Amino acid sequence: MSEVKRGYVRPLDLKHGHIDMTHGSGGRAMVQLISELFARHLGNAYLGQGNDGAVLPAPVLDGRAARLVMSTDCHVVSPLFFPGGDIGCLSVHGTLNDVAVMGATPLYLAAGFILEEGLALADLARIVESMARAAGDAGVPVVTGDTKVVERGKGDGIFITTTGVGVLPHDVNLGGARARPGDVVLVSGTLGDHGVAIMSQRENLTFEATIASDTAALHGLIAQLLATGADIRCLRDPTRGGLASTLNEIAEQSAVGVMLHERAIPVKPVVAAACEFLGLDPLYVANEGKLIVICARADAPRLLDLMHAHPLGRDAAEIGEVLADDHHFVQLTTAFGGRRIVDWLAGEQLPRIC
């Protein structure tokens, strides 16, 4: 982000103002928006360098050059504000989690904003403040960013892309290809909260369930899990596509099968009810603050104990195991006593008619 000398007088009207095309023009209006809103809330020494990019110290671990993890994520959620969060904190948590599930400690974030002409500055301010809070809580600064404005009708209020960089300890090797038969599958809490919170807010669905998104930064919990030295094969955060899609990815990458136990899978009653009502399957609904852990069976109990003691892992549970399976199916023993496949999601989840 660049900053030039202040050549204007009237400050941004954050109460009643709106984004217009000048905020993306590269001129004074843009600089004003950056300094009075973005820099004000997200500012730090790196961002304050004021160049096209931030100069960052290369991480060194135990005297050796460390490996970096880098991840990027685009956020296009509608509505922008929902119970439990908003697109601002979501864009921070989403990328932090993607870095953290690689086993890395997140160090820096970059943020790109695409703003739609007409966006209320008050909304933008709320979003930026929320980002700043989330980044501050996580201890990870936003070190560079960019803003563009598109004409009305060409965006959905605001799109945010964040990129995260983290440092990977020498001895950590996690990956979707490392699951092997005999491993167990743990999940850090209830499934489907985020997706149902969003869906209950969509304008054509006035569904009045009090369900809050689970959006949260998981790197603290993950750091504790890794510190145990347990044999963790793979960590994932089951966002879009839910648990089902994430496990199908892992099964494919590791060339194994997975058997889940429906009874063991934690789902909040209100989420289950909403899914029932909407004709959705919570296994396919998005989460933004949940962790899937695939680990050696012997290590499962202590990892579960640790998660149960952490605020983000109170409802953690062992939900299944990894099997040898040439077809790489994810299957489920139903609470009813039968067995079925938990397949990849085909297209979008669309409600049934009858």
Which residues of the shown chain bind other proteins in the complex (CB under 8 A)?
204-205, 263, 269, 272-273, 276, 327, 329, 331, 333-341, 343, 346-347, 350-354
Smallest distance, Å, CB 284 to other proteins?
11
- CA–CA separation, 349 and 167 (whole Å): 36
DSSP secondary structure, 119-164, as one string: -BHHHHHHHHHHHHHHHHHHT--EEEEEEEEE-TTSSSSEEEEEEE
Q: Which is nearer to other proteins, 171 or 336 (CB)?
A: 336
Smallest distance, Å, CB 158 to other proteins?
23
User: Rounded to whole angstroms, what are the CA distances from 271 to 70, 199, 213?
Assistant: 33, 11, 11
Q: Which is nearer to other proteins, 81 or 329 (CB)?
A: 329
- CA–CA separation, 269 and 61 (whole Å): 45
Residue 36 is given by DSSP the state I
Smallest distance, Å, CB 75 to other proteins?
22
Q: How many CA atoms lie within 13 A of 282 on its CB side?
A: 22
Q: Which is nearer to other proteins, 150 or 273 (CB)?
A: 273
CB 106 within 8 A of CB 168: no
Around Cβ 208, how many Cβ atoms within 10 Å? 6
Residue 197 amino acid letter = A
Smallest distance, Å, CB 125 to other proteins?
30
Q: Which is nearer to other proteins, 7 or 204 (CB)?
A: 204
Name residue 67's beta-bridge partners. Answer: 168
Smallest distance, Å, CB 78 to other proteins?
14
Q: Which is nearer to other proteins, 38 or 284 (CB)?
A: 284
Smallest distance, Å, CB 338 to other proteins?
2
Around Cβ 244, how many Cβ atoms within 10 Å? 23
- Contacts of residue 240, defined as CB under 8 A and 6 or more positions apart, other chains included, come to 286
Task: Indicate the angle between helix axes 121-138 and 87-100, nearest 10 degrees.
Answer: 30
Q: Which is nearer to other proteins, 178 or 328 (CB)?
A: 328
Smallest distance, Å, CB 206 to other proteins?
10
Q: Which is nearer to other proteins, 99 or 259 (CB)?
A: 259
Q: Which is nearer to other proteins, 31 or 283 (CB)?
A: 283
Tokens of 84: 């439990």
- Contacts of residue 144, defined as CB under 8 A and 6 or more positions apart, other chains included, come to 1, 46, 47, 53, 54, 110, 111
